[in-house]
């Protein structure tokens, strides 16, 4: 087998492994659907946040039909700020699913569902880019994580509202026009009950455009 054929076989094996990392769930598919809806129609999403705002009692959110309240750090102030942001946000194209990026997200979920850790670093010290490279991809991966979400809509809302995150970094990633591919993996967490990891890339394999390559507008 020649070197080129060997590289191709290795790449295909890596992608096959990525696809087989775990079966995608309806919950995970819905997260990406709702994420794309919020990107495509930010002003409509702002209307949903206005309804969400009505569930606040000081810094507590109490959803209809739920006995327990969810405590936030910033209360309605950050919701109002998000609504203002969305009012000036342009529509963005859809983020397409990537099997490799989903596998890198799944690796962190599998890790933290056992360890109970939080954050972007795996137990072995690996970053999102490291996990992508381990799967045969490139290192250019942006990662967002939610803990304790009650449903797919709550996952997306946590990331866009970005309560308690001073630089609104998760929101910035969600509304980045360059990030066009993503993988979503959700699972259990010992402390927060649930967690969802979304790994995003400019390309589906976590690579970066070659120098001189022009990115098509979306």
Which residue has tokens 């309804």? 51
**Domain layout of the chain by residue ranges:** 30-201
From first to last of its 218 residues, the chain has per-residue pLDDT tens of 343 433 333 333 333 333 445 689 999 999 999 999 999 999 999 999 999 999 999 999 998 888 889 999 999 999 999 999 999 999 999 999 999 999 999 999 999 999 999 999 999 999 999 999 999 999 999 999 999 999 999 999 999 999 999 999 999 999 999 999 999 999 999 999 999 999 999 999 999 987 655 554 44
Q: Which residues contact 166 (CB under 8 A, 6 or more apart)?
A: none
The per-residue b/e assignment along 75-103, b for 16 or more CB within 10 angstroms, e otherwise, is bbebbeebbebbeebeebeebebbbbbbb
Give the integer Cα–Cα distance in Å for 1 and 4.
8
Give the class (CATH, top level) of 30-201: alpha beta
């Amino acid at each position: 087998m020649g070197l080129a054929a060997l590289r191709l076989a290795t790449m295909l094996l890596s992608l096959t492994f990525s696809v087989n990392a775990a079966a995608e769930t309806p919950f995970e598919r819905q997260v990406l659907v709702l994420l794309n809806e919020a990107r495509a129609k930010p002003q409509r999403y702002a209307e949903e946040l206005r309804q969400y705002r009505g569930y606040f009692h000081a810094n507590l959110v109490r959803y209809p039909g739920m006995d327990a309240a969810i405590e936030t750090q910033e209360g309605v102030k950050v919701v109002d700020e998000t609504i203002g942001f969305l009012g000036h946000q342009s529509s963005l194209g859809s983020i397409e699913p990537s099997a490799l990026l989903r596998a890198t997200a799944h690796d962190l979920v599998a890790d933290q569902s056992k360890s109970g850790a939080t954050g972007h670093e795996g137990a072995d010290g690996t970053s999102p880019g490291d996990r992508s490279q381990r799967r045969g991809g490139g290192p250019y991966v942006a990662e967002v994580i939610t803990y304790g979400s009650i449903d797919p809509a709550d996952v997306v809302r946590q990331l866009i509202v970005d309560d308690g995150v001073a630089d609104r970094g998760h929101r910035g990633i969600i509304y980045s026009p360059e990030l066009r591919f993503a993988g979503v993996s959700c699972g259990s967490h010992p402390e927060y009950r649930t967690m969802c990891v979304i790994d995003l890339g400019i390309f589906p394999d976590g690579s970066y455009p070659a120098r001189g390559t022009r990115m098509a507008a979306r």
